[in-house]
Amino acid sequence: MLPGLALAHPHGWIDMSMRVIVDDDGRVEALHQRWRMDPFYSLVLLEELGRAEGEESLEQRLDLLGMEIRDTLAPQGYFTELYHGEAAIGLGEVREYTVMERDGRVEFIFLLPLETPLPLDGEPLVYRVFDPTYYIEVLHEENGDGPSDDALVVTGAESRCSTRILPADPDPAQVAQAARLDITDEAPDGLGRYFAETGEIQCDA
């Protein structure tokens, strides 16, 4: 399957880290996400921002870019699906976000609140972050031989929670479907779900 994956549809990627924020009552309040755009896409964005007309500083233009990214992602649920056991969890509106340039890469950092704080009662909390069209691939930050230690962390309930990141496991038909798409093709909505990694948080009741 590796050759097929190498030729598959994505035309860019995001390195993501997730911080699950738990309040003093043991309820999940929000998902703090950091997305690092791939170097080529970052370069294109920074060059376009640099060429834009006007007297705004780069920082001001990055702020405007952040608003545009936030508004584009909002109707798509910020590319995030969240489940507690078998139940889908409603997500709120992103109001806190920033965009910055670090080491030549554009980073979009945002706080995605839950509609209602969620008690962790022993059922696993599971999320997937993906572009439904699989035009952009979203992967957890790696350290060379697997997810990095800060790719998925829990704050506020670290002592009673364990985490793991499960790799995607698309079947050969889905890999073949993605491999047949080129840059001019539009993937069927939902294809990206099959290539999404799964983050899982398990906490003691």
Residue 119, in any domain of the structure = yes
What one-letter code names the amino acid at 58? L
How far apart CA 23 and CA 2 sit, in angstroms, is: 41
Q: Are 63 and 71 in contact (CB under 8 A)?
A: no
* Domain span holding position 90: 2-36+77-97+114-203
What's the DSSP call for residue 91? Answer: B
Residue 23, in any domain of the structure = yes
β-strands 136-140, 12-22: how paired?
parallel
Residue 159, in any domain of the structure = yes
Q: Whats the size of the chain, residue-wise? A: 205
- Residue 120 is predicted with a pLDDT of 83
Distance of CA 162 to the CA centre of its chain: 20
Residue 14, in any domain of the structure = yes
Per-residue pLDDT 10s for the chain (205 aa) are 233 333 445 678 999 999 999 988 889 999 999 999 999 999 999 999 988 888 888 889 999 999 999 999 999 999 999 999 889 999 999 999 999 999 999 999 999 999 999 998 778 999 999 999 888 899 999 987 888 989 999 998 666 889 999 998 766 665 565 555 555 545 555 677 888 999 999 987 6
Residue 46, in any domain of the structure = no
Number of domains in the chain: 1
Residue 63, in any domain of the structure = no
Residue 105, in any domain of the structure = no
Alpha-helical runs (H) found in the chain: 2-6, 39-51, 58-73, 172-179
Residue 25, in any domain of the structure = yes
Provide φ and ψ at 203, rounded to 5°.
-120, 150
